[in-house]
């Protein structure tokens, strides 16, 4: 198989929250391979509090300066993803379009579920879910028209497995997976591919919970190659979720047990008696999508009750 050099010449990319951490690495890599990059970052603290910066020294400005110094093309944008349409219109004005969107911006408001308040819940959902939706929605009309688009959404292990003290964040990151699956369904016929990644990297987001050694070792650069590959024309996968870190990446999928079908009129005691079967992964299946999942259930029902 030939292995062409993958480039992004002529492509316009928006990377949200790319003033630091993972987003900065995505922006630098895309620009180094020819993309015109909008470096978006509102410049908050990890918990989403606004900060003051001198003119020209906002996080987005610094990354744009790095890209230009290396000979690339980039422009800084400071809008919040909660007003995503402004970011996309900025890209269209600056560079004439939008081909690649990495929904990467994020904040944390970690607190136990017992103590969480409305604002801590709402702000996290707003940045991650509404932010990703607004950027994607604004980019969608351009991508549909040009029959091309690549969207990568930042999910998290917390959204997949849950995480103590992160009810808001894990709900948001699980929401990102639902958004990814549906955008993939709706976009694939028009060559708009949407995937989600759950990164694993040492950044200011992980430095409060990881040791310094681990933060230093798990560099965000080790995530960037895979994420940028998902943004390339060469990538034909869509609707997938990957965990990515440490120069490694792996795909996740849904797995369902063969389960147990009981007679019509069964009792709660029948469920109790068969409990082990519901959780037995021998002969597990892997539904690809909602239709596939439903069809398997309909088929089992028809088979069991000989309905036609
Ligand atoms: P980070 O804090 O370094 O980067 C997030 C960036 O988003 C910051 O620069 C911040 O200013 C910006 N931002 C915050 N709110 C914004 C808004 N409303 N509009 C625009 N920009 C905004 O953290 P990171 O680790 O680089 O995280 C990047 C993404 O990856 C996040 O979505 C995060 O949830 C996700 N993630 C990271 C890890 C990890 O291991 N680092 C794990 C799982 C998920």
Task: Answer whether residue 236 shows pLDDT above 80.
Answer: yes
73-88 pLDDT, tens digit each = 999 999 999 999 999 9
**Planar angle of CA 224, 65, 143, nearest 5 degrees:** 55
Give bridge partners of residue 153 from the DSSP assignment. 103, 196
Residue 159 Cβ inside 6 Å of ligand 1? The answer reads no
Residue 4 has pLDDT above 80, yes or no: no
306: pLDDT confidence band, cut at 50, 70 and 90?
A: confident
Distance 301 CA to ligand 1 centre (A): 46
State the Cα–Cα distance between residues 308 and 306, nearest whole angstrom.
6
Mean pLDDT of 199-211: 96
Residue positions annotated with a catalytic role: 169
103 within ligand 1 shell (Cβ under 6 A): no
Give mean pLDDT, residues 159-171: 98
Top mutation candidate among 15, 19, 20, 22 for ligand 1, by most atoms within 8 Å of CB: 22
What the block records as the tokens of 80 is: 């919040």
Any residues with CB less than 8 A from the CB of 90 and at least 6 apart, and which?
38, 75, 77, 79
Q: Tens of pLDDT along 177-199?
A: 999 999 999 999 999 999 999 99
Residue 5's pLDDT band (boundaries 50, 70, 90)?
A: confident
**Contacts for 47-56: CB closer than 8 Å, 24+ residues apart:** 47/107, 47/108, 47/109, 48/107, 48/109, 48/123, 48/124, 48/127
Q: Is the CB of 130 under 6 A from ligand 1?
A: no
Inform me whether the pLDDT recorded for 28 exceeds 60: yes
- Answer yes or no: is the C-beta of 27 below 6 A from any ligand 1 atom: no
Local confidence band at 305 (pLDDT 50, 70, 90 cut-offs): confident
For ligand 1, what atom is nearest to the CA of residue 45?
A: 11
Nearest 5°: phi and psi at 183? -60, -35
Tell me, in angstroms, the distance from the centre of ligand 1 to residue 41's CA.
10
**How far away, in angstroms, is 116 Cα from ligand 1 center?**
21
**Short-list 99, 107, 100, CA closest to 129:** 107
Q: How far apart are CA 138 and CA 11, in angstroms?
A: 17
Residue 147 has pLDDT above 60, yes or no: yes
pLDDT above 70: residue 308: no
**pLDDT band, residue 2 (cuts 50/70/90):** low
**What atom of ligand 1 comes closest to residue 23's alpha carbon?**
26
C-alpha closest to that of 193 among 153, 154, 138, 135: 153
CA of 103 to the centre of ligand 1 (A): 9
Give ipTM to 2 decimals.
Answer: 0.99
CB 97 within 8 A of CB 145: no
* C-alpha 161 to ligand 1 mean position (Å): 19
Pocket test for ligand 1, best of 14, 15, 17 (most atoms within 8 A of CB): 17
Mean pLDDT of the chain: 97
pLDDT tier at 38, thresholds 50, 70, 90? very high
Residue whose tokens read 């060559």? 191
């Amino acid at each position: 198989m030939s292995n062409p050099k993958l480039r992004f010449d002529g492509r316009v990319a928006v990377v949200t929250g790319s003033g630091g951490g993972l987003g900065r690495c995505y922006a630098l890599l895309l620009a180094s391979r020819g993309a015109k990059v909008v470096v978006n970052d509102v410049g908050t603290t990890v918990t989403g509090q606004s900060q003051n910066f001198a003119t020209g020294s906002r996080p987005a400005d610094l990354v744009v300066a790095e890209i230009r110094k290396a000979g690339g093309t980039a422009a800084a944008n400071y809008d919040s993803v909660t007003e995503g349409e402004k970011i996309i219109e900025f890209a269209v004005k600056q560079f004439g379009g939008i081909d690649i969107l990495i929904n990467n911006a994020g904040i944390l408001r970690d607190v136990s579920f017992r103590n969480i308040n409305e604002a801590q819940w709402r702000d996290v959902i707003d940045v991650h879910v509404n932010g990703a939706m607004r950027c994607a929605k604004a980019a969608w009309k351009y991508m549909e028209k040009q029959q091309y688009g690549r969207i990568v959404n930042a999910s998290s292990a917390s959204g997949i497995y849950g995480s103590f003290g992160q009810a808001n964040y894990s709900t948001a990151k699980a929401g990102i997976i639902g958004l990814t699956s549906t955008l993939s369904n709706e976009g694939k016929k028009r060559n708009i591919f949407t995937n989600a990644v759950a990164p694993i990297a040492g950044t200011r987001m992980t430095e409060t919970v990881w040791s310094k050694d681990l933060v230093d070792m798990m560099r965000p650069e080790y995530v960037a190659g895979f994420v940028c590959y998902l943004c390339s024309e060469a990538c034909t996968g869509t609707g997938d979720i990957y965990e990515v870190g440490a120069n490694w990446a792996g795909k996740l999928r849904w797995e369902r047990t063969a389960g147990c079908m009981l007679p019509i009129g069964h009792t709660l005691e029948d469920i109790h008696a068969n409990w082990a079967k519901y959780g037995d992964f021998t002969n597990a299946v892997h539904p690809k999508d909602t239709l596939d999942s439903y069809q398997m259930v309909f088929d089992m029902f028809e088979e069991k009750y000989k309905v036609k």
